[in-house]
Amino acid sequence: MSVKDEKIGIIGSGLIGKSWAMIFASVGYKVVLFDVESTQVTKALENIKAELLEFEAAGTLRGELGAAAQAELISGTDSLADCVTGAKYIQECVPEVLELKRKVWADIDKIAGDETILATSTSCIVPSKISDFMVHKSQFIVAHPCNPPYHTPMVELVPAPWTSQEVQAGARALMKEAGQGPVSLSREVPGFVLNRMQYSLLNECWRLIRDGVVSAQDLDVVMKDGMGMRYAFMGPMETIHLNAEGTQNYVDRYGETIYAVSSDLGPIPTGWKQETEADKAEVKALEETMVKEIPVEDLYKRRVWRDKRLAALAKLKRDMDREEKE
């Protein structure tokens, strides 16, 4: 794999920004990482190099270049102009606060070229709310990764009403080139796709635990040792297609049952809003249950445990895909 003579600009040097930097460097892009604090940039570059070396040692490094070569492709700056000017693609990764994102994009908009794809990482803020005032708003798109992005390659691409077709196609092509799994939405909707699916699942999980049907621990077993194992390789629609003689046959056989069970699911749990004492009690009970399993002081250690397993799963999927193509 050769190094590309093109630049990717990353705005924000936190977890998501560092992950995007490593993803683009893995396929040979020169990456410039920006943060307002130069010390933050320096620390991020050190962390990136250390993580890449760890991935290489574990056999989970992405791309054909070695860890040292990938790290050399990533540089840092505290100058927004140095990051943005001449970039093929800009990925903004500042905290998910609308006012902050609009402020950052106002500054980027003054510098960005007319051909640069302008992307924001956000899980729920629709792109029209961020980009409506921008001169380059036709170049703007949401690129929402799954967490952690390096090991879970799905990325949602969400256009604003004014995002050009060229930018939508260009963002999708770049994500595929970088080894991500792009999901292109035809229009913006609250929560995009991932969180609409996730929140629907969480609502039913909450109801089942709240109503004493199942414990939180056993509910997690349903996902990690059941649904999650097949969903790691195929989505829910392919699953139903394979679980019968095609989708039509699945609906013929199970449609009435699915509709009947779905009618029993109930309303959105009010515990999410925590407006009443009963709501707060529900949250406290669930928190106590989870803390018994994983104490708060052990969360970092458990995240490391999680990331190692996700890295191994991602490698397995890449290896199996490679074998199928050979």
Let me know: does 184 contact 164? Beta carbons within 8 Å. Answer: no
Task: Please provide the DSSP assignment of 258-294 as one string.
Answer: HHHHHTTS-SPPGGGT--SHHHHHHHHHHHHHHHHHS
Q: What pTM, to 2 d.p., does this model score? A: 0.94
**Average pLDDT, stretch 185-206?**
97
User: To the nearest whole percent, how much of the chain has pLDDT over 70?
Assistant: 100
Q: Which residues lie closer than 8 Å to 237 by C-beta, 6 or more apart?
A: 247
- Identify the pLDDT of residue 325: 86
Helix axes 299-325, 38-58, angle to 10 degrees: 60
**Average pLDDT, stretch 107-135?**
97
Give the burial string for 34-62 (b: 16+ CB within 10 Å, else e): bbeeeebbeebbeebbebbbebeeeebbb
- pLDDT surpassing 80 at residue 1: no
- Identify the pLDDT of residue 326: 79
- pLDDT surpassing 90 at residue 203: yes
**Average pLDDT, stretch 281-304?**
96
- Record the tokens describing residue 203, joined without a space: 């609502």
Instruction: Report pLDDT digits (tens) over 129-164.
Output: 999 999 999 999 999 999 999 999 999 999 999 999
CA atoms of 1 and 191, how far apart (whole Å): 37
The closest alpha carbon to 303, from 145, 151, 122, belongs to: 151
Q: What is the sign, positive or negative, of the torsion defined by CA atoms of 55, 61, 66, 70?
A: negative
Beta bridge partners of 117: 89
SS3 of 26, please?
A: coil
pLDDT band at 320 (very low <50, low <70, confident <90, very high): very high
**Average pLDDT, stretch 47-76?**
96
Instruction: Report pLDDT digits (tens) over 220-260.
Output: 999 999 999 999 999 999 999 999 999 999 999 999 999 99
pLDDT band at 2 (very low <50, low <70, confident <90, very high): confident
pLDDT band at 120 (very low <50, low <70, confident <90, very high): very high
- Identify the pLDDT of residue 96: 95
